[in-house]
């Protein structure tokens, strides 16, 4: 169960959803708000709540302004979900309110399930983190309890370093939207398109940013994210990885598997896979693996240590 690159770049801002819900007459969500306790508890304990399309705003979005919420996307037919769910519930109760677990049945709540598609996630179990109204991809797949516990600790440590966790005294926290006036309108248009799932609109806006500044790292990441999302739309993750294991010498199969690993947060594995393909091939196949690896680097900041390590490995494989 890999952890993702924990930052607000690429996160989904849930504020627009919350504002729209508030404007709809007669659509008061059930349960308490952020300051009303933990809402309707699920069978997993006091700090675990079942949420729906209707209660998500109060149980998750509002609550995330004061405490992090992990959202467990699951379904009754999903075997691995039944392994991961009890582990998350146990850890949520151990945390005793430091974070809340919200469980979402994607079959019963298609609007919430759509968030997975916006984040490029194809399968469950999947866990997202909601902090200060921002929805971030977090974990993909089931894993033993020690690994899940470690991943959660790493998440909160990363969020603290980013200054994202709402742990400062209330009077010292910046007002919501304080940074909004500084947002570039084209960048905002690109982010809004991503949130809507409009990949064409997002790419057009990011390319407009690149036309103005070819070195814009956020725009490069945005274009790379859109292109990756398009490539994995029609892929079945498990089948793709199985095919890659069965056909180690097929470069195109390895490229598809690397894409699946990237959207699953297995970035180092994706890089290693393509470096191995470069080592094992020659001619056009080798060049295809090399070029695809370079394109995946654009999904992360250029100074990311994982990119630095992979670049060294690529250089060694080439020379």
Catalytic residue positions? 78, 81
How do strand 48-50 and strand 69-74 relate by DSSP bridges? unpaired
Residues forming beta bridges with residue 136, ordered by sequence position: 129
| Burial environment of residue 175 by CB neighbours within 10 A (0 to 12, 13 to 18, 19 or more) | exposed
Contacts of 199 (CB under 8 A, 6+ apart): 193, 226, 229, 230
What is 78-141 written as a DSSP string? -HHHHHHHHHHHHHHHHHTTSSEEEEEETTT-HHHHHHHHHTT--SSSEEEEEETTEEEEEEES
Cis ω for the linkage preceding 125 (within 30 of 0): yes
Q: What is the phi/psi pair of residue 123, to 5°?
A: -140, 170
- Parallel, antiparallel or unpaired: strands 12-13 and 126-131: unpaired
Query: Tokens representing 155?
Result: 């998440």
Supply the DSSP symbol for 50: E
CA–CA–CA angle 230, 202, 130 (5° rounding)? 85
Under 8 Å between Cβ of 70 and 100: yes
Rounded distance, CA 295 to CA 220, Å? Answer: 10
């Amino acid at each position: 169960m890999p952890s993702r690159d924990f930052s607000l770049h690429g996160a989904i801002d849930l504020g627009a959803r919350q504002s729209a819900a508030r404007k709809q007459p007669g659509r008061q969500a059930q349960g308490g708000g952020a300051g009303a306790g933990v809402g309707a508890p699920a069978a997993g304990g006091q700090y675990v709540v079942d949420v729906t399309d209707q209660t998500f705003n109060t149980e998750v979005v509002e609550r995330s302004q004061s405490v992090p919420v992990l959202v467990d996307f699951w379904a009754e037919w999903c075997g691995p979900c039944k392994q991961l769910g009890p582990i998350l519930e146990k850890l949520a109760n151990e945390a005793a309110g430091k974070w809340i677990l919200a469980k979402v049945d994607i079959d019963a709540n298609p609007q919430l399930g759509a968030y997975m598609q916006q984040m490029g996630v194809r399968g469950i179990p999947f866990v997202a983190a909601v902090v200060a109204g921002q929805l971030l991809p977090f974990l993909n797949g089931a894993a033993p309890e020690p690994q899940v516990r470690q991943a959660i600790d790493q998440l909160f440590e990363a969020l603290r370093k980013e200054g994202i966790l709402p742990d400062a005294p209330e009077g010292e926290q910046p007002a919501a939207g304080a940074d909004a006036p500084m947002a570039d309108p084209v960048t905002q248009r690109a982010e809004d398109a991503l949130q809507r799932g409009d990949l064409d609109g997002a790419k057009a806006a990011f390319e407009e940013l690149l036309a103005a500044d070819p070195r814009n790292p956020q725009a490069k990441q945005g274009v790379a994210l859109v292109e990756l999302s398009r490539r994995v739309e029609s892929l079945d993750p498990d089948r793709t990885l199985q095919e890659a294991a069965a056909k180690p010498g097929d470069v195109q199969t390895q490229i598809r598997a690397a894409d699946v690993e990237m959207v699953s947060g297995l970035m180092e594995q994706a890089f290693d896979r393509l470096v191995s393909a470069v080592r094992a091939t020659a001619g056009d196949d080798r060049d295809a693996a090399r070029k695809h690896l370079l394109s995946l680097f654009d999904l992360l900041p250029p100074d990311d240590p994982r990119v630095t390590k992979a670049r060294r490995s690529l250089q060694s494989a080439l020379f």
